């Protein structure tokens, strides 16, 4: 299934993540069940979430809040070609 939201990490604030998305800024809640993985499926810690990192988030909605279940680290986009 497609991710619930994707974008770049603007800030990682303890139990939340602020993403810059095509639709504008989004706050994603993190909890003890949130997993961070690479595209290859390697599991990483929440500490691996860095500002500027592109991510895809799969989660569960609780009203207007999206609680992340899996955050997939995406490769950075290629540099602009001349």
Residues 6+ apart with CB under 8 A from 36: 43, 44, 45, 46, 48, 49, 70, 71, 73
CB 7 within 8 A of CB 53: no
Measured distance CA(72)–CA(57) in Å, rounded: 6
Question: Phi/psi at 46 (nearest 5 deg)?
Answer: -60, -25
Segment 12-27, tens digit of pLDDT: 998 999 999 999 999 9
Residue 82 has a pLDDT of 60
What does the pLDDT read at residue 79?
76
pLDDT over 80 at 77, yes or no:
no
pLDDT digits (tens, 9 = 90+) for 21-57: 999 999 999 999 999 999 999 999 999 999 999 999 9
Residues 58, 70 contacting (CB under 8 angstroms): yes
């Amino acid at each position: 299934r497609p991710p619930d939201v994707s974008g770049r990490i603007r800030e990682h604030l303890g139990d939340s993540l602020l993403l810059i998305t095509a639709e504008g800024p989004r706050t994603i809640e993190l909890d003890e069940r949130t997993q961070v993985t690479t595209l290859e499926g390697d599991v990483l810690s929440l500490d691996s979430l860095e500002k500027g990192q592109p991510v895809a988030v799969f989660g569960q909605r609780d009203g207007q809040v999206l609680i992340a279940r899996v955050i997939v680290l995406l490769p950075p986009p290629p540099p602009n070609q001349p």
